[in-house]
Amino acid sequence: MSVAKVIELIAEGKTVEAAIEEAAKTAAKTVRKVRSIYVDGIQAMVKDGAVEKYRVNCKVTFVID
């Protein structure tokens, strides 16, 4: 039987996909065995009337040894 833990991260990117990839890459630096990322919310950061970047609120699930 395995036990999983969930942490929350906020990541940014030029696209929603890039922001999710950034969350995965950043989590992998300090957390082992990442199994999934659940995107809990998406924000578009606007500057001068145009979308500048996207921010995603993520829940990262990983298995505990």
Residue 2 has pLDDT above 90, yes or no: no
The whole-chain average pLDDT of the chain stands at: 95
b/e sequence 28-63, b meaning 16+ C-beta within 10 Å: eeeeeeeeebeeeeeeeeeeeeeeeebebbbebbbe
Instruction: Select from 3.30.1660.10, 3.40.50.850, 3.40.50.300, 3.30.70.330 the CATH code of 3-64.
Output: 3.30.1660.10
Read off the pLDDT of each residue in 21-47 and give the average, rounded to a whole number.
Answer: 95
Q: Are 46 and 16 in contact (CB under 8 A)?
A: no
pLDDT in tens, 14-28: 999 999 999 999 999
Q: What residue spans define the domains of the chain?
A: 3-64
**What pLDDT, on the 0 to 100 scale, is given for residue 1?**
76
pLDDT band at 37, cuts 50/70/90? very high
DSSP letters for 11-56: EEESSHHHHHHHHHHHHHHH-SSEEEEEEEEEEEEEETTEEEEEEE
Q: Rounded mean pLDDT of 26-47?
A: 95
